[in-house]
């Protein structure tokens, strides 16, 4: 407990320049990306989410791809975790709605051995035709579920830049097919270095960005330096929002609690072996300060949050979750200062 309080006091002192009271009060998507688990959830698992004043959660059932060039998409496989099953999604959505939370349903692919989905690319036309058929079946099935559950936001893909670049006609046709069965808002989660090349932003409701932008080579970057580093990225995001006349949504954002956390946020950088709670808190403070006050910015989903709160995170944890770290208190206070949506 003493160690925790020491870390918290250090964090609050170093972040004293942050003034969330000056932020424009806007309705934002103040979200958390909820990890699917084997555990059957109940309302007790939702209470910590409410306690940090989140207003949305993202649910991400996975389909599995055997290799980067495989046309197969497997779902409902043996061993699929309860939180990713249709039954589990129905239960979690119901629990969330009971507590006033909104849901983004975000089905996405997982390539064997964790290979990056952006590198998925078929080797011939026949394989691409099959892959398109299987991916559409995967996505439309969840779009129908989103409609059934009255989910207000549906994400039709995550970090699939090769697939998008190679087959733009497929994606436009997929959007049409989704809109036939689902009547809520639609987004797509583009990787931070690929969102400018997505051809279909005009056809959906939000420009979705997984916001793992590289910002700093510092071991423990300061808030003001991170805010400065955000400026060129922010300008490009604003330009895209104006060009496409769509709001920007961070479909994922987050930082590991490790040294050099803002160097390569998608991977954690060179400091994976060293815990740095302050670096995580600084990086989150900066992203909140830079974006949440902007009218053209819709909000975002923090990656990630585990339902088993008491067993998650902690002062020795090196992962993205803010749970039981100084960043949890930061998140609680910042989301509290936003108008809940």
Strand partners, 258: 275
The CA distance from 245 to 206, in Å, is 9
pTM of the entire predicted model: 0.91
Q: Structural domain boundaries of the chain?
A: 23-213+246-255+299-309+321-336
DSSP string, 123-149: SSHHHHHHHHHHHHHHHHHHHHHHHHT
Q: Tell me: pLDDT of 27 over 70.
A: yes
Mean pLDDT of the chain: 91
Phi, psi of 168 (to 5 degrees): -60, -35
Confidence of residue 238 (pLDDT cuts 50, 70, 90): very high
CATH of 23-213+246-255+299-309+321-336, one of 3.20.20.80, 1.10.1040.50, 3.30.420.40, 3.40.50.2030: 3.20.20.80
* Structure confidence at residue 269 (pLDDT): 54
Residue 212, pLDDT above cutoff 90 = yes
**Number of residues written out for the chain:** 341
pLDDT at residue number 270: 57
Is the distance from CB of 225 to CB of 183 less than 8 angstroms?
no
Distance of alpha carbon 334 from alpha carbon 217, whole angstroms = 26
* Each residue's pLDDT tens digit, 52-89: 999 999 999 999 999 999 999 999 877 789 999 999 99
- What's the pLDDT tens digit per position in 122-174? 999 999 999 999 999 999 999 999 999 999 999 999 999 999 999 999 999 99
Q: How far is the C-alpha of 183 from the C-alpha of 261, rounded, in Å?
A: 38
């Amino acid at each position: 407990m003493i160690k925790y309080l020491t870390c918290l006091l250090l964090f609050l002192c170093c972040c004293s320049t942050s003034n969330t009271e000056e932020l424009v009060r806007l309705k934002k998507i103040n979200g958390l990306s909820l990890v699917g688990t084997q555990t059957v959830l109940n309302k007790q698992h939702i209470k910590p989410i409410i306690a940090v004043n989140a207003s949305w959660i993202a649910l991400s059932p996975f389909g599995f791809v055997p290799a980067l060039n495989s046309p197969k998409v497997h779902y409902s496989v043996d061993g699929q975790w309860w939180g990713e099953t249709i039954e589990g999604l129905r239960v979690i959505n119901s629990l969330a709605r009971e507590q006033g939370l909104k849901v983004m349903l975000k089905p996405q692919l997982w390539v064997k051995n964790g290979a990056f989905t952006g590198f998925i690319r078929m080797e011939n036309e026949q394989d691409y035709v099959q892959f398109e058929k299987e991916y559409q079946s995967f996505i439309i099935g969840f779009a129908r579920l989103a409609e059934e559950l009255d989910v207000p936001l549906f994400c039709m893909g995550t970090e699939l830049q090769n697939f998008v670049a190679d087959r733009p006609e497929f994606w436009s046709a997929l959007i049409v097919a989704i809109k036939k069965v689902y009547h809520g808002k639609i987004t797509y989660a583009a990787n931070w270095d690929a969102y400018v090349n997505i051809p279909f932003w005009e056809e959906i409701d939000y420009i979705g960005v997984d916001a793992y932008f590289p910002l700093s080579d510092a071991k423990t970057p300061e808030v003001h330096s991170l805010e400065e580093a955000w400026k060129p990225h922010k300008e490009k995001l604003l330009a895209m929002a104006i060009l496409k006349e769509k709001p920007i949504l961070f479909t994922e954002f987050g930082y590991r609690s490790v040294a050099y956390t803002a160097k390569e946020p998608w991977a954690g950088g060179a400091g994976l072996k060293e815990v740095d709670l302050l670096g995580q808190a600084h990086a989150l403070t900066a992203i909140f300060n830079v974006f949440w006050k902007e009218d053209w910015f819709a909000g975002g989903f923090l990656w990630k949050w585990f339902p088993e709160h008491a067993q998650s995170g902690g002062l020795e944890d090196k992962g993205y979750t803010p749970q039981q770290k100084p960043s949890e208190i930061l998140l609680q206070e910042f989301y509290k200062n936003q108008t809940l949506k």
